[in-house]
């Protein structure tokens, strides 16, 4: 029997409603999206706290409200962002909100992301052949990464090792070898499409280039997302190869399907997985697969 597939609903990121009007901003809207995504087959909720008008915020209070309300309504595993845009410019402080949330069992995240390298986050306009936001950098020093890993280990929060390219993967493995991340490691292979050119492209070749550098001598679970592109195009390959999927209208609006909700996109992912014999994991099954606290 094929192992269960873990589906992470990436419900909003910092995407604007001009891309898809179903992007949730407020806590109530995120809860509504979370409940629908759980019914569709999601096991993990990944969200970004937003202001009522869609701005970025990463306060403890905003995140705590979302986590409490989501947990009242559903059993989804909680995976907030570290909030690079809204946080202090000092990368070492990026973990502070998650660390504070973890002090209270009611608001403690189950998982938190560590992007295991720095990335240029400009946009490339192929038509005009110009860069937009050419100065924008997502800075993650190695010292900061070690600090994040130690902090999450102390708080009992599972790190999700976000890899934009092979160099990120190699650094993540080094964190494991240094004893900073215990197995099974949870990797997010972060593909990018459209105007985002930093990551591997959302093709089977782009995915296989990632997988070629995942070691097979230690326990690893891997999932895939795509910023700026349709992840469903390579979903059959992901499912056949034993991976999981992190998908939602926060990463890409999926307007080729009209104006879908997050639940609509999760449902499509479930259909693809089932065609190759894989059923969606429940949150409790995902907890066991990833060996989270409370499994």
Instruction: List pLDDT tens digits, range 190-217.
Output: 999 999 999 999 999 999 999 999 999 9
- Contact predicate 107/68, CB 8 Å: yes
- Read off the pLDDT band of 39 (50, 70, 90): very high
Q: Are strands 44-47 and 185-192 parallel, antiparallel or unpaired?
A: unpaired
pLDDT of residue 90: 75
Q: Which residues of 80-111 are buried (b: 16+ CB within 10 A; e: fewer)?
A: bbbbbebbeeebeebbbbbbebbeeeebbbbb
- Mean pLDDT for all residues in the chain: 95
- Read off the pLDDT band of 91 (50, 70, 90): confident
Name the CATH topology of 7-290: TIM Barrel (3.20.20)
Backbone angles phi, psi at 279, to 5 degrees: -100, 150
pLDDT digits (tens, 9 = 90+) for 9-33: 999 999 999 999 999 999 999 999 9
pLDDT digits (tens, 9 = 90+) for 244-259: 999 999 999 999 999 9
d(CA 261, CA 253) in angstroms, rounded, equals 9
The pair of structure tokens assigned to 198 is: 């930093």
Chain Cα centroid distance, residue 133: 23
Is the pLDDT at 110 greater than 80, yes or no?
A: yes
- Read off the pLDDT band of 92 (50, 70, 90): confident
Place of tokens 């905003």: 62
What sign does the CA torsion over 24, 286, 165, 79 have? positive
The pair of structure tokens assigned to 63 is: 């995140």
pLDDT of residue 170: 97
Place of tokens 């595993």: 77
Residue 62, SS3 per DSSP: helix
Alpha-carbon distances of 121 from 51, 58, 132, 163, 192, rounded to whole Å: 22, 19, 9, 14, 11
- Indicate the burial class of 45 (C-beta count within 10 angstroms; 0-12, 13-18, 19 or more): buried
Question: 0.85 exceeded by the pTM?
Answer: yes
d(CA 200, CA 164) in angstroms, rounded, equals 7
- Read off the pLDDT band of 93 (50, 70, 90): confident
């Amino acid at each position: 029997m094929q192992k269960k597939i873990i589906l992470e609903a990436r419900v909003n990121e910092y995407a604007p409603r001009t891309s898809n009007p179903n992007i949730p901003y407020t806590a109530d809207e995120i809860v509504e999206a979370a409940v629908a995504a759980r019914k569709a087959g999601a096991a993990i909720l990944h969200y970004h706290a937003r202001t009522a008008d869609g701005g970025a915020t990463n306060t403890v209070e905003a995140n705590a409200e979302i986590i409490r309300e989501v947990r009242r309504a559903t059993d989804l595993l909680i995976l907030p962002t570290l909030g690079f845009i809204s946080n202090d410019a000092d990368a070492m402080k990026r973990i502070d909100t998650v660390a504070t949330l973890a002090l209270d069992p009611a608001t403690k995240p189950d998982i938190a992301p560590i992007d295991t390298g720095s990335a240029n986050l400009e946009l490339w306009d192929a038509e005009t052949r110009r860069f937009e936001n050419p100065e924008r950098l997502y800075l993650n020093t190695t010292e900061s990464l070690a600090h994040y890993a130690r902090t999450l280990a102390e708080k009992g929060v599972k790190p999700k090792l976000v890899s934009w390219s092979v160099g990120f993967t190699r650094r993540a493995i080094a964190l494991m070898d240094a004893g900073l991340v215990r197995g099974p490691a949870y990797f997010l292979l972060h593909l990018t499409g459209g105007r985002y050119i930093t990551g591997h492209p959302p093709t089977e070749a782009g995915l296989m280039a990632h997988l070629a550098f995942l070691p097979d001598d230690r326990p690893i679970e891997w999932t895939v997302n795509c910023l700026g592109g349709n992840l469903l195009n390579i979903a059959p390959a992901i499912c056949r190869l034993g991976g999981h999927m992190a998908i939602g209208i926060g990463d890409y609006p999926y307007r080729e399907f009209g104006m879908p909700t997050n639940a609509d996109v999760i449902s499509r992912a479930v259909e693809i997985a089932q065609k190759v014999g894989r059923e969606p994991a429940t949150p409790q099954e995902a907890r066991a697969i990833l060996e989270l606290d409370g499994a």
